């Protein structure tokens, strides 16, 4: 599919690791110019997306570097397993700040550019826990349900300007985010491998390929969707 995203100019956050890194690579392989952001790693723009003003500065830097902006994929996210009683106020707020508030701010601050482009694309990253719950994931699941709701309303509002907004909902993906839990609880890894009819964990590229499709002209009439990309795990 090389060249499918030729001429597109994209911001990808969380691009220093896991799914975000794979997305940046895939969009670039399809011909897009990509402006990457993360807290750490080999990216174009080092920033903490939860700091007020960070998303406006990111959009400004990206527009200056690429001469415009039509695609936004906010992949930065955090997760940790903790029983409900172990959720401090600070932890709960931090999860919402990264997984939800920072997504909202980036979409808001990029919206004008995407409207001007006339064919803007936004792909948020939810989770299968945007639809279902799981033990130890109260804060995470709350943030991911909210990001799916945000996606649908943003799709309603930005659609008249030609901007599509969709939410990819990964199942269990093998990344540095999940590695500690899978190492500590091998039975949790096995559970997810067996739950998926495709009988394996996902790889970052499994998610990146779907996101590239949603960013392309092939997906021009799809908006407001939450798409499970989970090896079929949620069918049962
Ligand atoms: P990851 O930990 O490999 O990558 C997340 C990246 O986000 C890291 O590079 C991290 O530095 C960056 N980041 C975190 N906080 C940040 C901040 N405040 N400012 C800037 N960057 C920040 O994790 P991943 O598995 O690649 O997750 C990517 C996205 O996919 C997240 O939104 C996550 O919730 C979602 N997701 C992952 C899975 C999974 O099983 N791995 C499943 C469903 C959804």
136-166 pLDDT, tens per residue? Answer: 999 999 999 999 999 999 999 999 999 999 9
- Which CATH number do you get for residue 16? 3.40.50.720
Q: Please state, in angstroms and rounded to a whole number, the distance separating the CA atoms of residues 132 and 23.
A: 25
How big, in percent rounded to 5, are the helix, strand and coil portions of the chain? 50, 15, 35
User: How wide is the angle at C-alpha 210 spanned by C-alphas 209 and 214, nearest 5°?
Assistant: 120
What is the number of the ligand 1 atom nearest to the C-alpha of 21?
Answer: 26
| 3-state class (DSSP) for residue 178 | coil
List the catalytic residue out of 91, 132, 140, 188: 140
185: pLDDT strictly greater than 70: yes
Q: Is residue 71 part of a domain?
A: yes
160 CA distance to ligand 1 middle (Å): 30
Give residues (CB < 6 A) around ligand 1.
13-14, 16-20, 38-40, 48-50, 75-79, 98-99, 125, 127, 170, 172-173, 175-178
pLDDT attached to residue 198? 98
**CA of 174, closest atom in ligand 1:** 41
In a domain, 46, yes or no: yes
155 found inside a domain: yes
- Mean pLDDT to the nearest integer, 200-223: 98
**Among the listed residues 37, 12, 41, the one whose alpha carbon sits nearest the alpha carbon of residue 26:** 12
120 domain-assigned: yes
Q: Give tens-digit pLDDT for 5-26.
A: 999 999 999 999 999 999 999 9
Residue 4 lies in a domain: no
pLDDT classification of 1: cutoffs 50, 70, 90: low
Among this protein's residues, is 91 annotated catalytic? no
Residue 80's pLDDT is what? 85
Interval 30-58 mean pLDDT: 98
194, part of any domain: yes
Of all protein residues, the one whose alpha carbon is nearest to atom 32 of ligand 1 is 77
d(CA 149, CA 130): 9
Examine residue 1 and state whether it is found in any structural domain, yes or no. no
**Confidence grade of residue 2 (pLDDT, cut at 50, 70, 90):** confident
Q: How far apart are CA 100 and CA 81, in angstroms?
A: 18
Portion of the chain with pLDDT greater than 70, in percent: 100
Looking at the structure of the chain, the number of domains it has is: 1
> How far does residue 218's CA lie from ligand 1's centre (Å)?
26
What is the extent of the structural domain holding 68? 9-228
């Amino acid at each position: 599919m090389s060249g499918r995203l030729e001429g597109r100019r994209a911001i990808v956050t969380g691009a220093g690791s896991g799914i975000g890194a794979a997305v940046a690579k895939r969009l670039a392989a399809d011909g897009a110019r990509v402006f990457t952001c993360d807290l750490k790693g080999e990216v174009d723009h080092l920033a903490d997306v939860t700091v007020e003003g960070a998303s406006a500065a990111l959009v400004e830097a990206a527009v200056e570097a690429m001469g415009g902006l039509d695609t936004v994929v906010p992949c930065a996210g955090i997760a940790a397993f903790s029983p409900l009683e172990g959720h401090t106020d600070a932890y709960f707020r931090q999860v919402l700040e990264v997984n939800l508030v920072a997504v909202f701010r980036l979409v808001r601050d990029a919206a004008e550019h995407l409207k001007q482009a006339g064919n803007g694309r936004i792909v948020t990253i939810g989770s299968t826990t945007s639809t279902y719950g799981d033990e130890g994931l109260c804060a995470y699941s709350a943030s991911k349900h909210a990001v799916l709701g945000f996606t649908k309303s943003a799709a309603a509002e930005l659609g008249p300007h030609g901007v599509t907004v969709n939410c990819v909902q990964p199942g269990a993906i093998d990344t540095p985010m999940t590695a500690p839990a899978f190492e500590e609880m091998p039975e949790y890894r096995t559970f997810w491998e067996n739950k998926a009819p495709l009988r394996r964990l996902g790889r970052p590229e499994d998610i990146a390929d779907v996101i590239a499709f949603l960013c392309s002209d092939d997906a021009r009439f799809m908006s407001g969707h939450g798409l499970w990309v989970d090896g079929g795990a949620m069918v049962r």
